[in-house]
Amino acid sequence: MLIAQITDMHVKRPGSPALEGVDTAACLERCVAHINAMERQPEVVLATGDLVAEGSAEEYAILRRALAPLRAPLYVIPGNHDDRDRLREAFSDHDYLPKDSPFLHYVIEGYPVRLIALDTVIPGEDGGRLCAERLAWLEARLAAAPDRPTVIFMHHPPFVTGMDHLDRIGCEGGAALGAVIARNPQVERVLCGHIHRPIQVRWHGTIASTGPSTGLQMALELRPDGPFRWSFEPPACQLHLYRPEVGVISHLSYIGDFDRPQPTTPMA
């Protein structure tokens, strides 16, 4: 099974100030074309939050148009820039989204890997939270299928990234989630967004990671007092390949073509 992960699209309305001059809607369109052109198509595409910039209905309409050409089924979760109710309205045809729950949690069955979406959003705040109610929901879902390989996807990373200025708007309750994961070895991956960088860590018996943005990346800053900066690194998506005899193998797939030096020695 091949899972494509896209994240932090931050789609904006026309006329809104561009994100450092980057047209995020156009970036998403290029990402969709990139995924559609893959010789092996993913079985699913997971969009791990910050789908739009301000949570407006107009932004979600632009988002839907940009995502419409996707050939693979799409599953979305909110990030701190999203509005749950407007997201639910914009994706009202996506039956997996709960209609009346305060959180946009859900489980996707029917694939070789079980997919569990976990809502970490605190409305009006940049950081996320995994409260007792959310963790109890997750633990019950994991207990229902202890032998099924499972991928959890969420927006806020529950682990320390080493980028202190971003860890300050991380995920409250990450340690409690780690305890749940440690009791459930069927969890193959925890896939996150929020940081606009690819980061991986061995975490409570599994691997947790964040994905790069389809638009603009955060600058790598590992100094304790380092500033918040954007970086014009290439946009990318992540591909997570599940094979029963191995587990999940993750790859970074850059979007677009880039100038490169010509090789001085011919390749054999």
* Domain containing residue 42: CATH number: 3.60.21.10
Would you say residue 155 lies in a domain?
yes
DSSP the chain: -EEEEE----B--TTSPPBTTB-HHHHHHHHHHHHHT-SSPPSEEEEES--BSS--HHHHHHHHHHHTT-SS-EEEE--TT--HHHHHHHTTT-TTS-SS-SS--EEE-SSSSEEEE---B-TT-SSEE--HHHHHHHHHHHHT-TTS-EEEE-SS-SS--S-HHHHTTSEETHHHHHHHHHT-TTEEEEEE-SSSS-EEEEETTEEEEE---SS-EEPP--STTPPP-EE-PPPEEEEEEEETTTEEEEEEEE-S----PPPSS---
Q: What is the pLDDT along the chain (268 residues), one digit of tens a residue?
A: 999 999 999 999 877 766 677 899 999 999 999 999 999 999 999 999 999 999 999 999 999 999 999 999 999 999 999 999 999 999 999 999 999 899 999 999 999 999 999 999 999 999 999 999 999 999 999 999 999 999 999 999 999 999 999 999 999 999 999 999 999 999 999 999 999 999 999 999 999 999 999 999 999 999 988 888 999 899 999 999 999 999 999 999 999 877 666 665 555 5
C-beta neighbour count of 130 within 10 angstroms = 23
Q: How many domains does the chain have?
A: 1
Would you say residue 34 lies in a domain?
yes
Would you say residue 259 lies in a domain?
no
Would you say residue 158 lies in a domain?
yes
Would you say residue 86 lies in a domain?
yes
Range of the domain at 18: 2-254
Would you say residue 126 lies in a domain?
yes
Would you say residue 97 lies in a domain?
yes
Would you say residue 127 lies in a domain?
yes
